[in-house]
Chains A and B, each alone.
Chain A
Amino acid sequence: MKNAASRFGWRKYLIFLLLSGGILGLMVFFSIKVFGFLYHQQEFPLYFKLFLSEKILMMTFLTMFLMLILSALISTLNIFFLSKDLPLLLTSPLRSRTVFTWKTLETAASSALMVVFFAMPMLVAYSYYFAPTLVKIAAVGFVFLLFMASGVLIGILIGLIIPAFFSVKRLQPVLSLVSIVLISSIVIFLRILRPERFGNPDVINNLVEYMQGLGVKGFAWFPFYWIAKALNLIAKGDYWGYCKAIGAFLVVILLLSGLLLFLQKKYYLRLFDKLNKGTPGSHRSGWKKSRFFKKKFLDYSTLWKKEIKTFFRSPDQWSQLLIIAAIVIVFILNMKGMPLPHASVKNLIAYLNMGMAAFIVAGLNSRFTFTTIPMENPGIAHIMASPFEKKKLFRFKLLFYVIPQMIVGFILFFTGDIALHLDAFTRIGGILYLAPALPFLTVQALYFSLRIQETVPLTPQHLVSSRSGISYMLWSAVYIVAGMIYFVRPFFLYHYNRFLQRPIPYLEISLWFAGFLLINTIMIVLFYKKCMSIWNKKEFTASS
């Protein structure tokens, strides 16, 4: 306490309390606003108000359910397998089942805390408007408890099974992968629900069609659907229906608890041993000669092989590709679902789509390109001490990232193109904007990464949140916005003259485009030269 106070620890606690109080206050405010708005809609019949509330609740509980599983999964691995008190507890006279039971409770408490924090304001607001009696509040609390129990149990079970397949040394990448899959699922699920439709029900022809459109068949098998349904039934006063939902929860909880006991009895201690011992695996894929690289580029082939093997053997690297996939899916869904009645709006969206593609590529650069050199530290010292030419390594890093980034950028742009059926001018404009912008963003990422002085092996999280990482994101945003502003003029010239049915000044527009290409080419060359200069002077002192 004394040390913490002397290091101004109390300030941190105060900031934490203020922040959490602020977040809680905001959530209460928004929950009351949302449910209050629905409750006070005079023209809506009660069942429709409840139906909309149920959909909102389902989306929120869907997110919470996945958060709960992830949180319980991480806690399980920590508490059941890696916790430092385990050797002491398991060698004490305590029965292993007692240890297991207490560890289950500890996991449930630690993983449920965050979800309770986020769910409380919503439940309070819902109860206030739709379940205001004591019995109903108790029923809301009870079903929420069962919902939490089912999520926690699923998380614990997954957490107990994972060590059967992965060694302790691979746990971190596995967890990264699981979290990414869950986060991507949340994004995709929420897009499938298309929440924007709540804001504008008028676009749907009739109520039945609208209500049908809000349902997703497969969700009926999940606890987040049951709790939303149960809360609806409580508000309606349909206690028989509520009991059926509770029954579903109880059956699932009983099954999961049985499975948990079985795992405890048969496998827990065996898995504990295995996890702490680690399981090596054999990789005999070898080091084949590359068919793609001809003699002149054999040096690059060496780096290519190393980079590909290390990339695809690191789940925390390749799993990020799932995020890209999620982004692309969300992108397509957004584009497809967008009501665009006027050509002018379509052009505006297409124009913004260019910037969006560049922003996504900047984000990917921040995670991959920006981190590639510092993360290779300190192994990179071996290459530097070898006869391999230093500049070739830098060139390779640039090529290895610039090509995929350009592909992703153009896929995102052309996805928008396909969805919006862009005209030829917008298509060419987009290509001329992205063609130099994407390589520049990649060179810029490498430039900022070279400013990092590595002293210890670094993680992507350290790097992205470092001063250089934040600088890259800020400067890339400035660059993208400046480019977009630059492009306003040629786009305006084209569309304005077309609207007035006047001759389009193609020469002036071409000059604007050429200017952009020229400025960017100069910037790319300058940044590349600057990078090379820093790279050549760079000292590799990491292992000292």
Chain B
Amino acid sequence: MLEIRQLVKYYNSNPALQGINLQLKKGEIYGLLGPNGAGKTTTLKILAGLISPDSGEIFIDGETYHRDRSQLKQIIAYVPDQPFVYPKLTGEEHLHFFADLYKIPSSQRMEKFDFYFRYFEFEVYRYELVETYSAGTRQKLLLTQALMVEPKILLLDEPLTSIDPLVARKFKTLLKKVSNRGTVALFATHILSLAQEVSHRLGIIIDGKIITEGALEELLKISAGHEEDLEEFYYNTVMKYEELIQSQV
């Protein structure tokens, strides 16, 4: 469904991605983990079409994808790492605006809006200007915006930022449902419990390279049972990588 080959991106002369390779099957949820500045957000932004890679290729259902392929973007939805929205639109207007951009017919909108406003528990803010929303409510709006377009590829950058535990749980349930319907979800997060709970596969990215990936059980097996959970595995993997780099220096 989604394939990334040798993705490279430099910011000025600083390498952000150094040859990322990924293959995601239909219905797969893939969690990208890594320290700050590792390249998670850059990967997602390239896939969302906000920035161009310096080299490498992206394929969606075998078709070459780049940021100007507007038609292919119809099946992609993106939630950025910070909940930026138009402050002077109300929650409902914001959703209408994006429904327009994705050409969702008016007849289908209200049902979706009603569902998500209630599901994520922010119906009371529906007609309020977004500028009055808390960070968590803004994030709910962005999640709604991404989910309502029923994308085939869902890109989520820190999807649970500022979200309360109850709604976070609801989101995880919904994400699994969406994936069961065939949507590919690629998300970046620092919340290891989220990655552990919902991901089919995980990748750890450091210095613009995916240094290890696989299903959680596989990863724990590879580490010969020394680690009991994802947190310990992640910590040891990052530390080993840093030691390796230092020894090479």
Chain A residues within 8 Å of B, Cβ to Cβ? 167, 169, 278, 280-284, 286-287, 289, 298-299, 302, 305-306, 309-310, 313-314, 378-379, 381-390, 457, 536-537, 539-544
Selected contact of B70 from candidates A284, A379, A388, CB within 8 Å = A388
Do A302 and B71 touch across chains, with their CB atoms under 8 A apart? Answer: no
Interface of A is mostly: loop
Please report the C-alpha to C-alpha distance between residue A540 and residue B67 in the assembled complex, in whole angstroms: 11
Q: Is residue B78 contacting chain A, with contact meaning CB distance below 8 A?
A: yes
Contact with A along B38-53 (1 / 0, CB 8 A): 0001100100111110
Please report the C-alpha to C-alpha distance between residue A390 and residue B52 in the assembled complex, in whole angstroms: 14
Please report the C-alpha to C-alpha distance between residue A390 and residue B50 in the assembled complex, in whole angstroms: 11
CB A219 to nearest CB in B, in angstroms, measures 39
Do B86 and A539 touch across chains, with their CB atoms under 8 A apart? Answer: no
Do A278 and B132 touch across chains, with their CB atoms under 8 A apart? Answer: yes
Selected contact of B102 from candidates A386, A541, A543, CB within 8 Å = A386
Known A-B contacts A289-B106, A306-B86; A385 and B76 likewise in contact (beta carbons under 8 Å): yes
Do A302 and B128 touch across chains, with their CB atoms under 8 A apart? Answer: no
A311 nearest CB neighbor, chain B only: B88
What would 15 A/B residue contacts be, using CB atoms closer than 8 Å?
A: A283-B90, A283-B129, A310-B88, A378-B82, A379-B86, A382-B85, A382-B98, A384-B67, A385-B48, A385-B73, A385-B76, A387-B71, A387-B74, A536-B68, A541-B50
Selected contact of B50 from candidates A284, A286, A381, A388, CB within 8 Å = A381
Selected contact of B92 from candidates A287, A298, A386, CB within 8 Å = A287
Q: Is residue B100 contacting chain A, with contact meaning CB distance below 8 A?
A: yes
A287 nearest CB neighbor, chain B only: B96
Do B49 and A384 touch across chains, with their CB atoms under 8 A apart? Answer: yes
Q: Is residue B59 contacting chain A, with contact meaning CB distance below 8 A?
A: no
B80 nearest CB neighbor, chain A only: A543
Total contacts A to B, CB within 8 angstroms?
111
Selected contact of A302 from candidates B68, B101, B106, CB within 8 Å = B101
Chain B residues lying within 8 Å of A305, measured Cβ to Cβ, are 97
Q: How many residues of B contact A (CB 8 A)?
A: 42
Do A284 and B84 touch across chains, with their CB atoms under 8 A apart? Answer: no
Which 6 A-B pairs have CB atoms at the shortest separation, nearest pair first? Answer: A287-B96, A302-B100, A313-B88, A385-B48, A310-B88, A386-B101
Do A283 and B128 touch across chains, with their CB atoms under 8 A apart? Answer: yes
Do B102 and A387 touch across chains, with their CB atoms under 8 A apart? Answer: yes
Chain B residues lying within 8 Å of A386, measured Cβ to Cβ, are 73, 98, 101-102
Please report the C-alpha to C-alpha distance between residue A287 and residue B92 in the assembled complex, in whole angstroms: 8
Do B73 and A169 touch across chains, with their CB atoms under 8 A apart? Answer: no
Q: Is residue B207 contacting chain A, with contact meaning CB distance below 8 A?
A: no
Chain B residues lying within 8 Å of A310, measured Cβ to Cβ, are 86, 88-89
Please report the C-alpha to C-alpha distance between residue A298 and residue B132 in the assembled complex, in whole angstroms: 30
Do B74 and A544 touch across chains, with their CB atoms under 8 A apart? Answer: no
Chain B residues within 8 Å of A, Cβ to Cβ? 41-42, 45, 48-52, 67-68, 70-71, 73-74, 76, 78, 80-82, 84-86, 88-90, 92-93, 96-98, 100-103, 106, 125, 127-129, 131-132, 145
Known A-B contacts A287-B92, A387-B74; A541 and B51 likewise in contact (beta carbons under 8 Å): yes
Chain A residues lying within 8 Å of B106, measured Cβ to Cβ, are 289
Please report the C-alpha to C-alpha distance between residue A309 and residue B100 in the assembled complex, in whole angstroms: 15
Please report the C-alpha to C-alpha distance between residue A384 and residue B132 in the assembled complex, in whole angstroms: 25
A389 nearest CB neighbor, chain B only: B70
Please report the C-alpha to C-alpha distance between residue A167 and residue B87 in the assembled complex, in whole angstroms: 15
Among A286, A309, A385, residue most surrounded by chain B Cβ atoms (within 10 Å): A385
Do A283 and B127 touch across chains, with their CB atoms under 8 A apart? Answer: yes
Please report the C-alpha to C-alpha distance between residue A298 and residue B106 in the assembled complex, in whole angstroms: 13
B41 nearest CB neighbor, chain A only: A544
Do B68 and A390 touch across chains, with their CB atoms under 8 A apart? Answer: yes
Please report the C-alpha to C-alpha distance between residue A382 and residue B92 in the assembled complex, in whole angstroms: 16
Please report the C-alpha to C-alpha distance between residue A388 and residue B100 in the assembled complex, in whole angstroms: 9
Known A-B contacts A305-B97, A387-B102; A543 and B84 likewise in contact (beta carbons under 8 Å): yes
Chain A residues lying within 8 Å of B129, measured Cβ to Cβ, are 280-281, 283, 313
Do B97 and A302 touch across chains, with their CB atoms under 8 A apart? Answer: yes
B74 nearest CB neighbor, chain A only: A387
Do B81 and A544 touch across chains, with their CB atoms under 8 A apart? Answer: yes
Q: A381-B80, A389-B70 are in contact. List 20 more A-B contacts (CB 8 A).
A: A169-B131, A278-B132, A280-B128, A281-B129, A283-B127, A283-B128, A286-B93, A302-B97, A306-B89, A309-B89, A310-B86, A381-B84, A382-B84, A382-B85, A383-B101, A384-B50, A385-B76, A385-B78, A385-B80, A542-B84
Please report the C-alpha to C-alpha distance between residue A283 and residue B92 in the assembled complex, in whole angstroms: 10
Chain B residues lying within 8 Å of A383, measured Cβ to Cβ, are 101
Do B68 and A284 touch across chains, with their CB atoms under 8 A apart? Answer: no
CB B26 to nearest CB in A, in angstroms, measures 20
